Amino acid sequence: MNHARQLPLQGIRVLDVSQVMAGPFACMLLADLGADVIKVEPPSGDQTRGAMGFKMKGPDSMGFLNMNRNKRSLTLDLKSEEDRASFYKLARTADVIVENYRPGAVQRLGIDYESIRKIHPKIVYVSISGFGQSGPWADRPGFDLMAQAMSGVMSVTGYPGEKPVKAGVPVADIGCALFATYALLAAYIGAQKSGVGQHIDASLFDAAMAFSVWDMSEYWGTGVRPTPLGTSNKMSAPYQAVKARDGYFVMGATNQKLWTRLCELLQRPDLVEHADYASVSLRLKNREALIEALEREFGQRDSADWIDAMLAAGIPAGPILSYPEAFEGEHGTHRRMCMEIEHPIEGKVKNIGFPVKLLGTPQQVRRHPPLLGEHNEEIMAEINVPAGAAVAS
């Protein structure tokens, strides 16, 4: 007898009516956990299929291939009455719908939450947008860059007095995807108990603002406006990138115990009780002078030597790696953060690995990122629509 456990979301159907990043990434996480995710695309396809400045063997970009594994693709022209009728029929079989149209667009198409819940009261309906479904900025188009700029993220990124810098990764997009995922799972659990679904309003703007815990805690507590700190931290020092003889590395002596160990490692007992560095608050106040003093010591040896010595002393430290170095290094390899997926056009294609590991029911690659409309006939047969009927191609 096969006692293998099912993936936790097996049996849940999700309609991914979204494009580009936040919605597709959230739906891919659900698909990785076993959900049947149907990517409902316009006849032209998700615009990410043709994104990025380089070509693959087929028409789909590497970005698309990294955000859409384990899904099926269905093309529908939702401006068409026939295809919209097919969408309603499909929606009746779904547990979750995720869309990222501009606010108001789904109402004009007739596929908004109010329209769907009339035919399926238990539906969990997620709307992802730049600035939310209501508010003065709701109608604005919004991408990760705008969300980072208008949420405050860019105001604390980079170094004081320099040009504005955005976070190097799409924190608003990915953050919104993660927050939307936890919200829709909570709403789904609630719907199983109450029999009633709900509308979830997720925005890149709100998600980006949610990362401001330390900055706004300081502002609300002191009235001091947060500013960029480079690689350093407003809660403790030293905790940043520091320069050794051959370049930079990161380290953190974030409490008195670690600070004492660091001074012992440097053979600088005088720093432990130094009038400017005797406590965390004093080290924060005098951070610039502190780092200058420490870098004079660090400059005598290479970064790898310091990292090894600090780790041996129990002080957190590490190298500053490029993405390729991180993915191809021994730890990234052990964590399987790069995996290969078989694809009908590309052959083996690299994908970013599962960001968390379910040890009891490990995630699986069950499907390659779908070709545009690859599953039209299969999905329409599941809702008893004749092959080729009411499906745009």
Dump pLDDT digits (tens) for 326-335.
999 999 999 9
Same domain for 154 and 45 = yes
Assigned domain for 44 exists: yes
C-alpha 49/C-alpha 187 separation (Å) is 30
For residue 371, what is the DSSP state?
P
pTM: 0.93
Same domain for 276 and 249 = yes
Confidence check: pLDDT of 96 > 80: yes
C-alpha 278/C-alpha 260 separation (Å) is 10
Assigned domain for 220 exists: no
Assigned domain for 245 exists: yes
In terms of DSSP bridges, do strands 71-75 and 96-99 run parallel, antiparallel, or are they unpaired? unpaired
CA distances from 343 to 42, 58, 62, 349, 361 (A): 22, 10, 12, 7, 24
Same domain for 64 and 130 = yes
Query: Looking at the 3D structure of the chain, how many domains does it have?
Result: 2
Same domain for 23 and 134 = yes
* pLDDT band of 390, cuts 50, 70, 90: very low
pLDDT at 303: 98
Dump pLDDT digits (tens) for 180-208.
999 999 999 999 999 999 999 999 999 99
Which candidate in 60, 144, 173, 215 is catalytic?
Answer: 173
Report whether 104 contacts 58 (CB < 8 A). no
Both structure tokens of 92? 């009746």
Dump pLDDT digits (tens) for 123-139.
999 999 999 999 999 99
**Which amino acid is it at 31?**
A
Same domain for 26 and 74 = yes
C-alpha 143/C-alpha 99 separation (Å) is 15
Q: What percentage of residues in the chain have a pLDDT greater than 70?
A: 97
Select from 288, 320, 352 the last residue of a domain: 320
Domain assignment of residue 134, given as a range: 11-209+339-382
Same domain for 81 and 177 = yes
Report whether 49 contacts 58 (CB < 8 A). no
Same domain for 273 and 245 = yes
Same domain for 361 and 277 = no
Assigned domain for 149 exists: yes
Whether 173 sits among the annotated catalytic residues: the reply is: yes
Dump pLDDT digits (tens) for 353-371.
999 999 999 999 999 999 9
Phi, psi at residue 194, to the nearest 5°?
-95, -20
C-alpha 50/C-alpha 44 separation (Å) is 10
pLDDT at 387: 62
Confidence check: pLDDT of 393 > 60: no
DSSP letters for 179-248: HHHHHHHHHHHHHHHHS--EEEEEEHHHHHHTT-HHHHHHHHHH-PPP---TT--SS-SSEEEEE-SSSE
Helix, strand, coil % over all residues of the chain, rounded to 5: 40, 15, 45
Assigned domain for 231 exists: no
Same domain for 269 and 142 = no
Assigned domain for 215 exists: no
**Which amino acid is it at 124?**
V
Sign (positive or negative) of CA dihedral 230, 235, 237, 238: negative
* pLDDT band of 391, cuts 50, 70, 90: very low
Same domain for 351 and 316 = no
DSSP letters for 63-92: HHHTT-TTEEEEE--TTSHHHHHHHHHHHT
Confidence check: pLDDT of 1 > 50: no
Q: Let me know how long the chain is.
A: 393
Residue 292 sits in a domain whose CATH number is 3.30.1540.10
Dump pLDDT digits (tens) for 29-85.
999 999 999 999 999 999 999 998 899 999 999 999 999 999 999 999 999 999 999
Same domain for 248 and 111 = no
Same domain for 250 and 176 = no
Helix (H, G, I), strand (E, B) or coil at 349: strand
Assigned domain for 217 exists: no
Assigned domain for 276 exists: yes
Residue 117 sits in a domain whose CATH number is 3.40.50.10540
